[in-house]
Amino acid sequence: MQSKETRTILITGCSSGIGYACAHGLRERGYRVFASARKPEDVERLSSEGLEALPLDLDDSATIRDAVNQVLSRTQGRLYALFNNGAYMQVGAVEDLSHTVLRAQLETNLLGWHELTCRLIPIMRNQGYGRIVQNSSVLGLAALAYRGAYRVHGPSPATMPPTSPGLRRILSSRRLDQVLTWTSDSGRR
């Protein structure tokens, strides 16, 4: 297993919030952090802040593939951890949201995570170690007004937690860890 000083982690959704804070916090603790973001200007900003930043849009299979390839080429084919954090919330009354809007959220928040995770599991299995962190939301546990779509169609909130125990059991037989976190908005900006 990689020592703490050389542990590498790919984090999605680093343009702001939890992903941003974790990218900087883990780098300060000695991890080699690959901070990803969807928008080019966010990738540039993260790079200027000293992070190894790369584009990754969870709606785009090509950027998922390219990001994985970039990370693995920079780390001699090894990755200690994946932190699935990138997601978004579609705000509004559920009856006012179109199927197109809900499908787009599902694509990002569930299917994008799934595709990225599936690309990295074989790498972790081959190296004999790895950790996958699925960052969920407390909104998966409690519905709030105008946040119902996130609970029903969100990645983490409603769809990732039920699949996480099965993934954890499969991965643990290969010395791989899968962790599910439940976070909330602290109200601070």
Name the residue among 22, 147, 137, 11 with its Cα closest to residue 67: 11
First vs last C-alpha separation in the chain? 37
Beta-carbon contacts of residue 35 (< 8 Å; ≥ 6 apart):
11, 14, 19, 20, 23, 46, 51, 52, 53, 54
Q: Is 150 a catalytic residue?
A: yes
Which listed residue (20, 31, 80, 150) is catalytic? 150
Residue 161 Cα to chain centre, angstroms:
14
| CA separation for the pair 178, 14 (Å, rounded) | 20
Which residues have a catalytic role annotated?
150
